[in-house]
Amino acid sequence: MGRPEPVPDALDAAVDGYLDHLAVERGLAANTLAAYRRDLARYAAGLRRGGRRELPAVTEADITAHLRRLREGDDEHPPLGAASAARALSAVRGLHRFAAREGLRADDPAGQVAPPTAPRRLPRSIPLAEVEALLAAAGAGEDPRALRDRALLELLYGAGARVSEAVGLDVDDFERLRADNVHVVRFRGKGGRERVVPVGRYARRALDAYLVRARPVLASAGTGTPALFLNARGGRLTRQGAWGVLRAAAERAGLAGVSPHTLRHSFATHLLDGGADVRVVQELLGHASVTTTQIYTLVTADRLREVYAAAHPRARAPR
């Protein structure tokens, strides 16, 4: 006979209830839920070592001590940077807000525990000439994978897509609206939010070429899938596969440090440089808050200062 399964304590039950809420009510993605589960398992283990086995017994000092352990590390975990610790603390704060709302305890001891502030790093974008070099290096000719690679990268830049959104697309998510022959793509972003983004001429041509001349060839190797982007076996292209496509194109173009998010950042920065309203860019990127989008305005402000300093005759200090 094997050992009996341990009986979950009140702390486990509270964590499970919160995770169920995130999955069902909030519609969080599987990867996000897995990260929350890991963060809360570490938190619960620390509480138990301190003799806390149910949420009503947890104090603000317990949560502050947990944050300190996150930053300092221990025998099993390396120290976390400010951004990673803030993300882990976010799971803890969410658990206690949920517990207070559900009546598991009367107050929220995590409400006054502030997350560490990470230094703000401006998104990295690349000039249009480098984007064009990257896209040209993605693939040429009629090879099915070359046509797929060009269509994928054109879409990442032309629609500001996250790589997970691009590989998650089905064929039916790319469509032509009857009015004015406008083509759009429907993305499902973070939290299950859907947004519709216009597809520009270059991306549309690349997608049309891929759908007509390449996807049927790739699909013949599989068992049938609605996925837009396929791998060589006829299945859905993975995130790792998409990264490989970009990495290979960047190497051929002689570019270093380029990621799928680099193309997304470049999409936003180039729109703002071209005069787009920040609210429009917010909608195109699928940001829940315009505050997230406004970081790109700092990028363009830096660019404006550089141009002014280089071009205006009275910008430089006298010698």
Task: For residues 157 and 263, give the distance between their C-alpha atoms in angstroms, rounded to a whole number.
Answer: 5
Residues designated as active site: 162, 190, 261, 264, 287, 296
Task: For residues 65 and 67, give the distance between their C-alpha atoms in angstroms, rounded to a whole number.
Answer: 5
**Assigned token pair, 138:** 């993605």
Burial grade of 131 (CB within 10 A; 0-12, 13-18, 19 or more): buried
Distances in Å between the alpha carbon of 75 and those of 8, 28, 64, 72, 279?
A: 25, 31, 19, 10, 46
Q: Which residues contact 64 (CB under 8 A, 6 or more apart)?
A: 113
Task: For residues 174 and 187, give the distance between their C-alpha atoms in angstroms, rounded to a whole number.
Answer: 9
Task: For residues 28 and 285, give the distance between their C-alpha atoms in angstroms, rounded to a whole number.
Answer: 18
